[in-house]
Amino acid sequence: MKITIEFSKLIRIENYASNSVIEVPDNCAVRDFLALLKLPPHLKQSVIVLVNDEPVWPSTILKENDIVKLNSIITGG
């Protein structure tokens, strides 16, 4: 099944560009998708995932043509 991944310039993912269409297995959960991306450890803990502009749980199952957006958590004070 195909999904689109989008992410900001603050996020760098090896072998993927923002707006890439990616083939994932059927019944792929968000947590499985993130594992497929092989995110660096610092990103795994500081990324927010939206599917079709809605926040989701790691257990959310992706569907054909979903748009997965990865956003960095930025803190400061």
Evaluate whether residue 77 is within a structural domain: no
Domain that holds residue 15: 2-72
How would you label 15-52 residue by residue, b for 16+ Cβ within 10 Å and e otherwise? eeeeeeeeebeeebbbeebbeebebeeebeeebebebe
pLDDT band for position 24 (cuts 50, 70, 90)? very high
Q: Give residue 75's pLDDT.
A: 66
> 62 in a domain, yes or no?
yes
- Confidence band for 76, pLDDT divided at 50, 70 and 90: low
Do the domain assignments include residue 41?
yes
Tens digit of pLDDT for each residue in 41-70?
777 778 889 999 999 999 999 999 999 999
Domain-located, residue 21: yes
- Count of structural domains, the chain: 1
The CATH number for 10's domain is 3.10.20.30
